[in-house]
Amino acid sequence: MIRRIFQNIRRQDWTAVIVELVVVILGVFIGVQVSNWNADLETDRKAALFTSRLKADLREEAWGYEVQVGYYEQVLRNAVAAEDVLAGRARLSDEALLIAAYRATQYNAYIRRRATYDELTSTGDIGLIRDTALRELAMHTYTADVFNEIIVNGRTSEFRIAFRKAIPRDVQTMLNEHCGDHIVPIGDYAGIEQVLDYPCTTTLPAAAITSSIAILRADPNFAAELRLRIADLGTDLGNLTWYYKDDLRDRLRALAKEAP
């Protein structure tokens, strides 16, 4: 094509030169347009794929959020029940008190579903999520400190540390096996109600239960540490159910109700 253009120039065939140039320009233009069109199609395909994946992740996060609320409400109930007994305001059997005290030590470090968000942010492709509300919800969900704070508060609580140090290892093993956390399938909202607070028996000998309760009753620090645990749980649950209600929990709930 270029050779013909120069040949036409030497012959001073300007009409042919113009025709050849128009053909070249149109070819380049069409090639660029086709390339741009293909690039746009690929971008649209990736945007749709990542949007679908991110919504699926956030629906699981919505369920995980409700797990955290339900779980820590159950931990709180057990902490209150145990503190009431140790403070002399209520009565429970020794086994029931031991179970309640054990469950007051528990915390739930559930696995976050954040692979899509991390991929988008690490590659700088978060802009592929064109739904502004969805993008903002993801950013808020995966950067909120409340989830890490709850785990840290549970793992480092004074009552948990004191209980785990004082109560015999074999007693704790039986408590964990028979009265510990239930595994709830992802998406099972009904199962959340009994993830921790379900009927159980320790199967421990009466002497082991009695000696463990004697340890709890002998040290007044246990009741004080339970009160601190109760206060911390109240703060954590307040954050989950009130502080983050409008811009996080309710929006996750709304997304979870959408069809996949």
* Longest CA span, the chain: 114
Q: Residues 39-96: pLDDT tens digits? A: 556 778 899 999 999 999 999 999 999 999 999 999 999 999 999 999 999 999 999 9
pTM for this one?
0.84
Q: Which residue in this structure is represented by tokens 């978060």?
A: 126
Separation CA 165–CA 212 (nearest Å): 12
Separation CA 250–CA 140 (nearest Å): 13
**CA gyration radius for the chain?**
31
Reported residue count of the chain is 260
Which residue type does 108 have?
A: N
Residues of the chain with confidence (pLDDT) below 50: 5, 8-9, 17
Separation CA 25–CA 122 (nearest Å): 40
The predicted structure's pLDDT at residue 5: 47
Q: Is the dihedral of CA 258, 141, 80, 183 positive or negative?
A: positive
Residue 131 near residue 258 (C-beta atoms within 8 A): no
